[in-house]
Amino acid sequence: MDAGKVLGRGIAFPPSLGPDGRWAWSAGALNVRQSIQVILLTNLQERLMLPQFGGGLNPFLFEPNTVTTRHQIADRITKALAAWEPRLHVQSVQVDADPDDPQAAIATITYTLVATRSQERVSVSITVAG
């Protein structure tokens, strides 16, 4: 099975050049993981032609690093991925305080790839006020 054909492919994130001097591409599960990063790191109204795209996590920068804030972050992540990444089904989003940084939270997203039914997990660090 060609994962690129089943799950798609696109320009790698972060954008970089390959050894041949062309844009580097990613495919399959890696492309989905990179798409999650793009969605969560994009602020609402950041894309001119698609202002509702993104995770909208930037406002949490000014919120305290509390259980309530972390639940709100988890809810925002779940909704953003459901809206913008049809190749996956979110199983769970767990947001915990970063033990090494009082001004950060770590979101662990467990999801199933729709096309292959394989379960994946990715973690993203989110800055909050602390």
Neighbours of 19 (CB within 10 A): 6
Predicted local confidence at residue 60, as pLDDT: 92
Torsion from C-alpha of 62, 66, 71, 74, nearest 10 degrees: 60
This prediction's pTM: 0.86
- Domain harbouring 54, CATH code: 3.10.450.40
Helix segments in the chain, DSSP class H: 3-7, 28-41, 67-84
Question: What pLDDT, in 10s, does the model give residues 73-125?
Answer: 999 999 999 999 999 999 999 999 999 999 999 999 999 999 999 999 999 99
Predicted local confidence at residue 83, as pLDDT: 97
Of 30, 37, 28, the C-alpha closest to 77 is 37
Domain of 60 in residue numbering reads as 3-127
Number of domains present in the structure of the chain? 1
Question: What pLDDT, in 10s, does the model give residues 60-69?
Answer: 989 999 999 9
